[in-house]
Amino acid sequence: MEWALAILFGISALLFIYSIIKTNISAKAEKERMDTDHIAVLKEIKDLKESIQKLELDNEIILKEAGIPLSNKDKLLKRELLDLYRRNYSLESISEIKQVSVSEIQELLAPFIEAKDGRSNVAHEN
């Protein structure tokens, strides 16, 4: 009986040691996977930052070559107006939101507003 208890105790100790080793191995593998994912995310963030920087430089070059002197305040206003317009806000509601006259909004958005003529409507009616 004592031998059986000693053998069972020994087997349980071996199984306990085996489970600790197995847990450590799987924890290391999980840590390596997380590190790899983290590195991939950091690389993607770096690439996005570079893309944004290139777009900002391209935008600055285009503005300089076009000779359009815009202050940061003017650029921000145009950006907000265009954003609201593209989200299908009416010119009147944009006027109320931004506290700017409708005619001024039309003037600022004129290059971005697509000309709508009757031909496209007639073509789609048939």
Same domain, 87 and 59: no
Same domain, 33 and 49: yes
Same domain, 88 and 58: no
Same domain, 63 and 109: no
Same domain, 29 and 16: yes
Other CB atoms within a 10 A radius of the CB of residue 59 amount to 11
Same domain, 18 and 48: yes
Same domain, 58 and 8: yes
Largest CA distance in the chain: 101
Same domain, 103 and 60: no
In 3-state terms, what secondary structure has residue 51? helix
Range of the domain at 11: 1-69
How far is CA 97 from each of CA 6, 60, 62, 87, 103, rounded to the nearest angstrom? 83, 28, 29, 14, 14
Give tens-digit pLDDT for 6-64.
Answer: 999 999 999 999 999 999 999 999 999 999 999 999 999 999 999 999 998 888 888 77
Same domain, 26 and 15: yes
Give tens-digit pLDDT for 92-115.
Answer: 999 999 898 989 988 888 888 775
Residue 120 lies in a domain: no
Residue 29 lies in a domain: yes
The answer to whether 81 touches 109, Cβ cutoff 8 Å, is yes
Its pTM stands at 0.52
Contacts of 113 (CB under 8 A, 6+ apart): 85, 106
Residue 19 lies in a domain: yes
- Counting the structural domains of the chain, the total is 2
Same domain, 65 and 76: no
Q: How many whole angstroms separate alpha carbon 34 and alpha carbon 37?
A: 5
Residue 125 above 90 pLDDT?
Answer: no
Residue 125 lies in a domain: no
